Amino acid sequence: DAGVIQSPRHEVTEMGQEVTLRCKPISGHNSLFWYRQTMMRGLELLIYFNNNVPIDDSGMPEDRFSAKMPNASFSTLKIQPSEPRDSAVYFCASSGAYNSPLHFGNGTRLTVT
């Protein structure tokens, strides 16, 4: 099992640019989660999907953030336009059976200058 795969591992961009983060969940998992980690706020849930449908997006900071899950094997998190305060590590996680633990990807470290 390859685990949750995120790309890119690192992203450096300038303020105002569009950023797209990608995630491939573990095959067969039907729940997918996007978290953001910062020193100040710790690990925050941004959004999660069950069976490709967004269930809770209350953690999405503002309209600049959007997430999609077009199929069971792929999800994107887009920030447009990016701002320096978006700098963080973004984690994707997936889970399988109804009460199974979340398995996290290695994260994408985003730096917005």
Site for another protein in 25-44 (CB under 8 A): 31, 33, 42-43
Stretch that binds another protein, among 15-23, 62-70, 76-84, 93-101 (CB under 8 A): 93-101
Which of residues 7, 13, 22, 45 is near another protein by CB under 8 A?
A: 45
Stretch that binds another protein, among 19-27, 70-78, 80-88, 102-110 (CB under 8 A): 102-110
Q: Does 90 bind another protein (CB under 8 A)?
A: no
Q: Does 101 bind another protein (CB under 8 A)?
A: yes
Q: Does 87 bind another protein (CB under 8 A)?
A: no
Measured over the CA atoms of residue 94, residue 9, residue 66 and residue 36, the dihedral's sign is positive
Report DSSP letters for the chain, one per residue. Answer: ----EEE-SEEEE-TT--EEEEEEPPTT--EEEEEEEETTTEEEEEEEEETTEEEE-TT--STTEEEEEEETTEEEEEESS--GGG-EEEEEEEE-STTPPPEE---EEEEE-
Shortest Å distance, C-beta 24 to another protein: 16
Question: How far from the centroid of its chain's Cα atoms is residue 44's Cα?
Answer: 11
- Residues binding another protein (CB under 8 A): 31, 33, 42-43, 45, 48, 50, 55-56, 89, 91, 93, 95, 98-99, 101-107, 109
